[in-house]
Amino acid sequence: MTGLLQSACILLLQGPEQIPIRPPAASSIAEGVDRLHFFLTGITLFFTALIFAIIFYFMVKYRRRSEDERPPEIEGSLPLEITWTLIPTLLAAVVFIWSSSLYFRNSRPPAASTEIVGVGKQWMWHLQHPEGVREINELHVPVDVPVKLTMTSEDVIHDFYIPAFRVKKDVLPGRYSSLWFQATKTGTYHLFCAQYCGADHAEMIGWVYVMTPTDYAAWLSGGARNESMAQAGEKLFNRLGCVTCHVADGTGRGPSLVGLYGKPEKLRTGEMRVVDETLIRQAIVFPNSVVLPNFPPIMPTFQGQINEEQVLQLIAYVKSLGQEERQTKAK
Amino acid sequence: MSTPGPNDHDVPAESRVNYLNASYGIRSWLLTTDHKRIALLYLASITLMFFVGGAFAVLMRIHLIEPQGALVEPETYNKLFTMHGVVMIFFFLIPSIPATLGNFLVPMMIGARDLAFPKLNLLSWYIFIVGAIFTLYAAVTGGIDTGWTFYTPYSSTYAHTQVVPVALGVFITGFSSILTGLNFVVTIHKMRAPGLTWFRLPLFIWAIYATSIIFILGTPVLAITIFLLGLERLLHVGIFDPAIGGDPLLFQHMFWFYSHPAVYIMILPGMGVMSELITCFSKKRIFGYSFVGFSSMAIAVISFLVWGHHMFVTGQSIYAGLIFSVLSFLVAIPSAVKVFNWTATLYKGSISYQAPMLYALGFIGLFTMGGLTGLFLASLATDVHLNGTYFIVAHFHYIMVGGAVMAYLGGIHFWWPKITGRLYPDGWARFAALIIFVGFNLTFFPQFMMGYLGMPRRYAVYPAEFQVLNVMSSAGASILGIGYLIPLVYFIWSMRYGPVAGPNPWGAKGLEWETPSPPPTENFEEIPVVTEEAYDYANPHPGVARG
């Protein structure tokens, strides 16, 4: 009953116009998703109203007038069954094609995306820009620039959700997931964890700041002087002793990592794998599961010695090795 | 209508020997093998569980009146929604119609004296009770905070709550479902009365048959999943937790392989009840019998192929997403066909509005709404935004509460005179139906809006902008709660003071109405011979040959 009273008070004091109808739409896909959402809302309201209207009409028209009434016998109608099977099927087909093409078109990030990495852990978001700036529970991004987030979790499954962008992706331990968006309006938007992750799940929230490119550049350079992710990764590479085996000219006990990123490699097991973020992480955490044929399986695991953010820095460093070579080849 | 005994209407139920007064004492109930008594044991147990689960929901809704949380600590809130889900799904919704009305009606509707395996049936109830005790034990000794979905690695490695007792409770209760399903399948195949061919069966039987198939095929997968979860939690065998070599998504695949079909375990029997109610209260044969019957089977089959739509945002492959999306649209179509057929059954009927019919009409409206909002979640682009928000909470409550619970209550109201021999006050029952309908919509409609606005589910605290909608929802919940208490009062009242019902107070068709109320222990004095199709309301004589 307290609920009733409170509700009445709030409605009286604030008025029904306090109830928002639509979340902010601030990304390149938001309008498209909303159009489909409104179409589906229309279908839902139309068919619910139709069924209700028919039922009410029948309820009144065919109400029982006497106990002896004998309604006519109607067994069914094949044409009607076909009609009301086909209409929902066609409607479902339209929605499926519309929705899937929208999803498919937006599933891959544009090639020129700014890459930001994120780590979820109970109960906060750590994000790091390629230039090395790190933030917690805040994400600053430039407007009108595609941004790709590569994320993993230190512990349980989390989910990175920005309602205003209509994007959401589970953030899993032990693997990388990614999402991308292109913000279209400057402003401040909610960031939520949308997968239940324990006691303070509801506190694993933050803000996304969409800034003009000049503001963003100023923000990037305004913070404490940071080394870039690749530079931090290089330091780790030296400190952990990776460099003693992974010698650049290939004379070490481990393979040279120069230019390795993005190449397909045949593993000792015969499996073909492209050297991507997932494979590099696997090589650091479970080295014996991805041994190359010409090298002895002597690499120790670094599980427990470095955290997920450091793994991401190492990956950034490995990616940077031989990058010029890749770029010149591309030209 | 038939009157099996002379002047049956005048004879008080108590003076005839029936299944309720054939023997007395606690032993006679706890050791009974009579399917009707077992149905009542289940009815009492799941009613208790319903109000336990409901109490958790009431506490949650009070808590959510304030954005910063009005009642409890976040840890406690997490336990409340977990226990609400576990109790309502595994200990109320899944057994609800099959274990109570199914147990009571399957033998009566097919003209049998009991289920095929009466002792197994009693065993099912005991298994259910043991599972429930484990779960309630966990609730009072600290609770569980994983969500009813038990997602790993949170549940297997990180949660510090009573995961193992609850998981064990759910594991054990699963066997009760499997045995009940097996019992129904064998009974329906082997024990139908002479003349009762498959296409003369009431559609409730078709629905229970389809449900039983899911029980038998799906529940073992849940048992295996929970077993593996226990292995990882207790012995640290790396199955789901990547830190010890597991796959973080494997659990979700296995869990939803059972738990999506389980949605249909909850709703299919309700659809069966609907076909009985709509025909009786419009005095008409069902429109498109075979389409309604086969759509139940179609749902049972396709429901096993759509689990991936719970995982669109987990990073599963785009192509897998497309396949699961198209199959999810497909599973909606048989449900739509049913709704159209029920509506068409009303056409040119002789419709009366006693309480069971009001519940049935409420079901059609709310289920339509719930089904259509499922399309938002089957379609990939909108699911990405809505997944994990209150939109999902609203959607499945429209199906589970607006659908399954409405049908369950409609069914209880419909067969109550058969079960107890007594009538309840119809005016109060209609009033309760109305209160429940209004309270339900006020509770859950705002949650659709909250979800679209982006409010995630399972949040103990939330941004202040969602408060108005949350307060509306909590206000609705208090109305809904009152709506559920009213029937409890008048049902209990009616058992002692209700007018004597007679064998067939609704003028309904079906074998269960051809025998006195309450029925004798052996159900029928002689096994009836069926000579007509189901719902032959045009033929006022009972469709059975005697002697």
Q: Is A52 exposed, middle or buried (0-12, 13-18, 19+ CB in 10 A)?
A: middle
* Domain A229-330: assigned CATH number: 1.10.760.10
Task: Kindly report, residue by residue over B394-412, the tens digit of the pLDDT.
Answer: 999 999 999 999 999 999 9
Which residue(s) pair with A169 in the sheet? Answer: A160
Q: Could you tell me if B141 lies within 8 Å of chain A, comparing CB atoms?
A: no
Q: Is A127 helix (H, G, I), strand (E, B) or coil?
A: strand
pLDDT at B537 (0 to 100): 86
Mean pLDDT of chain B, nearest integer: 92
Contacting B residues, span 31-70, partner chain A, CB-CB under 8 Å: 61-62, 65
Strand A146-153 with A167-171, pairing: unpaired
Q: Omega into B518 within 30° of 0, i.e. cis?
A: yes
In sequence order, what E strands does chain A have?
114-121, 124-128, 134-136, 138-142, 146-153, 158-162, 167-171, 177-182, 187-193, 206-211, 264-266, 272-274
List, in order, residues 6 or more apart from A298 with CB less than 8 Å away.
Answer: A253
Q: Chain A partners of B459 at a C-beta cutoff of 8 Å?
A: 201-202
Domain positions in chain A: 114-222, 229-330
List, in order, residues 6 or more apart from A166 with CB less than 8 Å away.
Answer: A25, A27, A29, A30, A33, A34, B384, B385
Closest CA to A211 of A312, A125, A114: A114
Residue B161 lies in a domain: yes
Buried b (16+ CB within 10 A) or exposed e, A84-117: bbeebeebbeebbebbbebbeebeebeeebbbbb
Assigned token pair, A89:
């099927």
Selected residue with higher pLDDT from A25 and A19 = A25
Residue B3 lies in a domain: no
Alpha-carbon gap, residue B359 to B274, rounded angstroms: 9
Q: Give yes or no for residue B2 having a pLDDT over 50.
A: no
DSSP states of B227-244: HHHHHHHHH---SS-GGG
Q: Give yes or no for residue A28 having a pLDDT over 70.
A: yes
Q: Could you tell me if B320 lies within 8 Å of chain A, comparing CB atoms?
A: no
Find which of A7, A59, A151 to mutate to test the B interface (most B CBs within 10 Å of its CB).
A7
pLDDT at A70 (0 to 100): 84
Q: Does the beta-carbon distance from B349 to A71 stay under 8 Å?
A: yes
The number of distinct structural domains making up chain B is 1
List the helix and strand counts (H, then E) for chain A.
9, 12
pLDDT at A325 (0 to 100): 62
List, in order, residues 6 or more apart from A224 with CB less than 8 Å away.
Answer: none
The pLDDT-based confidence of B4 (bands split at 50, 70, 90) is very low
Q: Give yes or no for residue A289 having a pLDDT over 90.
A: no
pLDDT at B491 (0 to 100): 96
CB B80 within 8 A of CB B59: yes
Buried b (16+ CB within 10 A) or exposed e, A201-237: bbbbbbebbbbeeebbeeebeeeeebebbbbbbbebb
Q: Is B327 helix (H, G, I), strand (E, B) or coil?
A: helix
Alpha-carbon gap, residue B381 to A207, rounded angstroms: 23
Q: Could you tell me if B452 lies within 8 Å of chain A, comparing CB atoms?
A: yes
Question: Which strands form A146-153's sheet, in the order they lie side by side?
Answer: A134-136, A124-128, A114-121, A146-153, A177-182
- Taking residues A291-311, report their average pLDDT: 86
Q: Give yes or no for residue B356 having a pLDDT over 90.
A: yes
pLDDT at B15 (0 to 100): 66
Q: Does the beta-carbon distance from A51 to B353 stay under 8 Å?
A: no
> By CA distance, what is B539's nearest residue in A?
A70
Q: Which of A2, A99, A286 sits opposite B380 (nearest CB)?
A: A99
Q: Give yes or no for residue A228 having a pLDDT over 90.
A: no
CB B326 within 8 A of CB A96: yes
Amino acid letter for position B264: Y
The pLDDT-based confidence of A7 (bands split at 50, 70, 90) is low
Assigned token pair, B85:
């889900």
CB B440 within 8 A of CB B32: no
Q: Is B322 exposed, middle or buried (0-12, 13-18, 19+ CB in 10 A)?
A: middle
CB B233 within 8 A of CB B164: yes
Range list of H helices, B303-354: 318-346
Q: Give yes or no for residue A132 having a pLDDT over 90.
A: no
- Taking residues A169-182, report their average pLDDT: 94
Q: Give yes or no for residue A330 having a pLDDT over 70.
A: no
Residue B8 lies in a domain: no
- Report CA-CA distances (Å) from B269 to A165, B253, B354: 40, 25, 21
Range list of H helices, B10-117: 26-30, 35-63, 74-88, 96-97, 103-109
Alpha-carbon gap, residue B54 to B60, rounded angstroms: 10
Rounded to two decimals, what is the model's pTM?
Answer: 0.90
Q: Could you tell me if B489 lies within 8 Å of chain A, comparing CB atoms?
A: no
CATH for A114-222 (3.10.20.580, 1.10.10.60, 2.60.40.420, 1.10.760.10): 2.60.40.420
Most confident of A72-86, A230-244, B104-118: B104-118
pLDDT at B3 (0 to 100): 40
Amino acid letter for position B424: Y
Residue B346 lies in a domain: yes
Q: Chain B partners of A25 at a C-beta cutoff of 8 Å?
A: none
Residue B79 lies in a domain: yes
Question: Which residue shows structure tokens 């209160």?
Answer: B435
CATH, residue B133: 1.20.210.10
Per the structure, the complete domain to which residue B436 belongs is given by 28-545
Alpha-carbon gap, residue B506 to B68, rounded angstroms: 51
> By CA distance, what is A37's nearest residue in B?
B382
Q: Give yes or no for residue B7 having a pLDDT over 50.
A: no
Residue A205, φ and ψ in degrees, nearest 5: -125, 170
Closest CA to A206 of A127, A147, A308: A127
Q: Does the beta-carbon distance from B313 to A51 stay under 8 Å?
A: no
Buried b (16+ CB within 10 A) or exposed e, B139-171: beeebbbbbbbbbbbbbbbbbebbbbbbbbbbb
Q: Give yes or no for residue B50 having a pLDDT over 50.
A: yes
Assigned token pair, B520:
């004798």
Q: Does the beta-carbon distance from B285 to A74 stay under 8 Å?
A: yes
Alpha-carbon gap, residue B157 to A174, rounded angstroms: 14
Assigned token pair, B173:
């209760």
Q: Is B421 helix (H, G, I), strand (E, B) or coil?
A: coil
Q: Could you tell me if B289 lies within 8 Å of chain A, comparing CB atoms?
A: yes
Q: Does the beta-carbon distance from B388 to A163 stay under 8 Å?
A: no
Closest CA to B423 of B432, B433, B413: B413
Mean pLDDT of chain A, nearest integer: 87
Q: Give yes or no for residue A6 having a pLDDT over 70.
A: no
Q: Chain A partners of B285 at a C-beta cutoff of 8 Å?
A: 73-75
In this prediction, the answer to ipTM > 0.95 reads no
Closest CA to A108 of A29, A24, A33, A163: A29
Count Cβ atoms below 10 Å from residue B441 Cβ, excluding itself. Answer: 19
Q: Does the beta-carbon distance from B62 to A6 stay under 8 Å?
A: no
Q: Does the beta-carbon distance from A157 to B151 stay under 8 Å?
A: yes
| Helices B74-88 and B35-63, axial angle in degrees (round to 10) | 160
Q: Give yes or no for residue A46 having a pLDDT over 90.
A: yes
CB B514 within 8 A of CB B542: yes
CB A166 within 8 A of CB A32: no
Task: Kindly report, residue by residue over B214-266, the tens digit of the pLDDT.
Answer: 999 999 999 999 999 999 999 999 999 988 889 999 999 999 999 999 999 99
Alpha-carbon gap, residue B474 to B496, rounded angstroms: 35
pLDDT at B5 (0 to 100): 42
